[in-house]
Structure 1
Amino acid sequence: MPVDPTNDLSRDELQRYSRQIMLHQLGSEGQRRLRSAKVLVVGAGGLGSPALLYLAAAGVGTIGIVDDDVVDASNLHRQVIHGTSDVGRPKVASAAETVRDLNPGVEVVEHAGRLTSANALDVLAGYDLVLDGTDNFPTRYLVSDAAEILGLPCVWGAIFQFAGQVAVFHAGHGPTYRDVFPEPPAPGTVPSCAEGGVIGVLPGLIGTAMANEAVKLITGMGRSLLGRLVVLDALDFTWRELTIKPDPRRAPATELIDYEEFCGVTRATPPSADDPAAVDVAELASLLRARERGGADFDLIDVREPGEHEIVSIDGARLVPLGRFIAGDVQLDPSRDVVLHCKSDVRSRQARELLVAAGHPSVRYVAGGVLAWVREIEPHKPLY
């Protein structure tokens, strides 16, 4: 799918891109194809950061950025397009500013907000290809389906802890994300990077590989990863290559659906103020003091992952990750009250539903989780 080249390069462009124009596989024609290209990057986080930097540096003429998040201090060890002074800013604005500073010749289009079924086709329309650097399953299926409907190639990457994956999807020419992952994993069975962690350099490796694939697709150089999925183990630093093919039985995507429903994701609505199952952090602090005096008896359970518990915890809570509740691998004394907490309260409410369904008579959750606890009760402890 090489992009049609534009007119001759200017003197400044010849100088800026001289080192890659010297490559006979690319040359001035390839550089003109890059200048003509319009690339959409979905996600200005770990994968989007290096991809955006290298696409801009390579001379891609138009780069669109989609993101609905703001920069947090916990992002900075891996999301290298943002700096400390950007904390609290929208990621789209921060990333766009960095791209413009790196290469003023690039036109940056800011798509601030969440990509949804209602806007995805409009957002992707007009681009030559899309890079999917998202970190959740509903958006991955959404990007894949929207790209298929519009006939766009999609460069996809994923990371978790020390492992990364990269592939190129293009309906009608090779497999799509749905061909490789026809069904999403059960909710809660695959922790996000926010829950399971990620080594900071890994998204740099995978995001740069994604940018490399985009440059190859735009210019027609080399052999793309279409039909291949590469897997990186960063601890051993080994790459494995898997052959992937379209599923001939799969019905093509013709319309966008409710992807959160498809993935079984419960929308994170805040608990009602009068929810009898909710325990606010002030009440929890009082209950813990009473438990120390022998005036209360309850089991406070942290349903986060071990790494999260190491960063910050509530004294007196014991760790039982949500995955054990999902697997039915938790035995609790039915005579004791249970109070659950997580980072906010999404996972603790999920664990509560599982315990209630299993017949436990008294289960509550901490509204706002450990984040609310730190902000209101122990502000000297770290947030993440």
Structure 2
Amino acid sequence: MSRYARQIVLPEVGAAGQERLRAAHALVVGAGGLGVPVLTYLAGAGVGRITVVDPDRVERGNLHRQTIYGEASLGRPKAEAAAAVLADLNPEVAVTPLVARLDPGNADGLVAGADVVLDCADSFAASYMLSDTCLAAGRPFLTASALGLGGYAGGFCGGAPSLRAVFPDLPERAASCATAGVLGPVVGLLGALQAQMALGLLLGIAPSPLGQMVSFEAPGLRFSGFRFDAAPEPERALRFLAPAEITGDDFLVDLRGPDEAPVPVAPHARRMAVETILDGPLPAPGQRAVLACRSGLRAWAAARRLERVWTGPILLVAMGDPQPA
């Protein structure tokens, strides 16, 4: 137990708490800037099983904030590279890497086996998918987002309101680290905060981080936050669909242009833009409207337009970036 001596002496941990950590299973979606501190602190603390999910590979432009990787890791799947680092950091922890994109087709199975779910993907599509799944399964869901010089972390589901209760809709436009930039320490701080929330949950430290939102702004080094324990769930929610779940009977719209996606999501897909979604025919009675784009943002915006004239089911598909062979 010498590995954990500095935390076992804490009254909030002790030998019983350390055993709870050893018996716990954490699902971490994303092994990038947020995932790196989450994975290292959970493994270092002795969380017994960690499943890490990430479809991407290590890139040089991300090394400034994904600090467990180096030049030797370039081109390697992040999930596998992270698992190798964690095996050296703490061989007592069983780490399962999954080189795959999270989607509604695999979310249920992944969440069902976890005691706590950490969203480190910095993708709103993944965040809402995980929140929906955790709410249904009763699992605690910890998510964070970092951009530029600030960001937030929060605890949802598991008895607390879901992400949709606090953020029922999306902004018209969303930036990313690639387009807006981010400082490495900002991401590291928020990832460390996620890890602390996870350890607090697993150890039963009060007050619970579930129902709590914490924001950080690097200019001025300001923290702020609020509780949302009584936030109501929205009556109608736009759900995500896995690409494999699209059928030939769906009213399918691909919102990506031919330059972005030369091959449409399916042969029967209509090519349309958000602004023209109402210019063509509407879905037939009883038909599902399925709207696809890269990130899900355009699909969300098009769905809000379609809802004005269509009361049938509307589902969103986030196709993501093409993955290298």
Instruction: Please state how far the C-alpha of 1:272 moved relative to its aligned partner.
Output: 7.3
CA distance in 2, matches of 1:191, 1:142: 19
4+ residue runs of structure 1 moved beyond 2 angstroms? 245-253, 255-261, 264-274
- Residue 222 of structure 1 corresponds to 206
CA distance in 2, matches of 1:269, 1:34: 49
**Per the alignment, in what secondary structure is the counterpart of residue 154 of structure 1?**
strand
CA distance in 1, matches of 2:126, 2:233: 23
Alpha-carbon displacement from aligned partner over 1:256-295 (angstroms, at most 9, x marks no partner)? 633899xx99458755779xxxxxxxxxxxxxxxxxxxxx
1:284-363 alignment, distance < 5 Å: none
Percent of aligned pairs sharing the same letter: 39
Q: For the Cα contact (< 8 Å) 2:162–2:233, is it kept in 1?
A: no
**Per the alignment, in what secondary structure is the counterpart of residue 19 of structure 2?**
helix
- Residue 155 of structure 1 corresponds to 142
CA distance in 2, matches of 1:272, 1:265: 9
Q: For the Cα contact (< 8 Å) 1:142–1:259, is it kept in 2?
A: no
Question: Is the aligned partner of 1:257 residue 2:244?
Answer: no
CA distance in 2, matches of 1:250, 1:272: 33
Alpha-carbon displacement from aligned partner over 1:85-111 (angstroms, at most 9, x marks no partner)? 101000011000011110000001112
Name the CA shift for 1:219/1:179 in 2 (closer, same or farther; >3 Å): same
Which amino acid counterpart does residue 142 of structure 2 have in structure 1? V
CA distance in 2, matches of 1:159, 1:103: 27
Q: Which has the larger radius of gyration?
A: 1
CA distance in 2, matches of 1:73, 1:265: 32
Question: Is the aligned partner of 1:237 residue 2:224?
Answer: no
Q: For the Cα contact (< 8 Å) 2:24–2:202, is it kept in 1?
A: yes
Alpha-carbon displacement from aligned partner over 1:210-269 (angstroms, at most 9, x marks no partner)? 00010010011232322221110112111011222344352498x9633899xx994587
CA distance in 1, matches of 2:35, 2:181: 17
- What 5-or-longer segments of structure 1 have no aligned partner? 1-13, 275-325, 327-345, 351-384
Q: For the Cα contact (< 8 Å) 1:179–1:246, is it kept in 2?
A: no
- With structure 1 as the length reference, what TM-score do the two structures score? 0.63
- Residue 143 of structure 1 corresponds to 130
CA distance in 1, matches of 2:261, 2:139: 43
- With structure 2 as the length reference, what TM-score do the two structures score? 0.74
- Residue 30 of structure 2 corresponds to 43
- What 5-or-longer segments of structure 2 have no aligned partner? 247-252, 264-273, 275-293, 299-325
Aligned positions, number: 259
**Per the alignment, in what secondary structure is the counterpart of residue 156 of structure 1?**
strand
Alpha carbon RMSD of aligned pairs, Å? 2.8
1:38-77 alignment, distance < 5 Å: 38-77=25-64
